[in-house]
Structure 1
Amino acid sequence: MGTGLVEGSVPPELRDRVMAAGIDELTRWGIERFSLGALAARHGIDESEIVKYWGDGQHLALDVLLRWDGTQSVTPDTGALRSDLKALSLVVASYVNTALGRSLLRALVMEDHMLYSDDTRLTFWKVRLGTLRTIFDRAAERGELRDGINLVAAVQLLVAPINVRALYTAEPVDEEYCTDVADLVWRAVKR
């Protein structure tokens, strides 16, 4: 599932207003309580205009998350897996070190009292995974990966420690930590 948008189809002023409202709603209420009606009412935006371009709340929430996720447009290509992993870990850290990044990360955390089935998180993860695994795919082509590597697990090994540190501490995720995580992943997957 994509975001449901034809890129460039939303008038820029409306996109900016809706994206700002979407960020506010997600960081305030999380995915479970994200509602087009509430967003429209609180932010003075015509709900029919939102529906016209995004269709539903899931598409809008996903568009907001993907637009502001720091890893979507970045796939470092330094020519070597080890340095690609370090560069990517620094990109993830720079995103979660911002107030917005931490807030959106918290919005993705599953709540025990989820009222409805929503695959927004899964869709977000699949899109993010597709971008992040590019680094491992290139490393495999260069012969840097040992056989039998589960690429989903490899990507999770890299981003999970950074995300967990951002979720459970107020400390910034620093370069030394990123280097340590990247080196651990590199050692786990290298040929």
Structure 2
Amino acid sequence: MDQPLLTGLLLVATPLLEDPNFRRAVVLVLDDDTDEGTIGVIVNRPSETAVSDVLSGWGGYASDPAVMFSGGPVGAESGLALGVPEGDDAPLGWRPLEGLGDASRVSRLGVVDLDTPPEVLGGALGSLRVFAGYAGWGREQLRGEIDEGAWYVLPATDADVFAAHPESLWSSVLRRQGGDLALVSTFPDDPRLN
């Protein structure tokens, strides 16, 4: 039986996930290929480094907070950007995410080619987020972690990727699910202090 694609969905770390790389992480899955593996970016880890300090010309187009985000522990020296076009046309230097699963709500989200001159592409984007690094899992590794209870798999929205207050995203994504997950959203950061 084929497993549903996770592309375009969120992986939200359960309180059981203790790995410091992913503790309370919210990961947007960018590509899920059951033969090759899965990649995504952590969307709730802003750094203190301004986009303009790293990528000349792009800072003025970055969504608030206009800082680099730690996308994950793999390839931390490389940059990856996501954006939503301002209009209906696909601008030069932007391509939509491919293979979105049925439950995805990130219909206009795409990858931005940071080699495109910012003055050509920047103004055509309504939202832009830049990540240093990404998260990656080998073939079947992520499915195993989900089966072990490390991740909740939840629908994503464009607003999740471009949240103005990313530090509260873990709680807000869980809270909007209602039921037991809304209760999990109140789980203390350190349960020993409860």
TM-score by length of 1: 0.29
Whose RCO is larger (CA < 8 A, sep 6+)? 2
Q: Comparing both structures, which one devotes a greater share of its residues to helix?
A: 1
TM-score by length of 2: 0.28
Q: Comparing both structures, which one devotes a greater share of its residues to strand?
A: 2
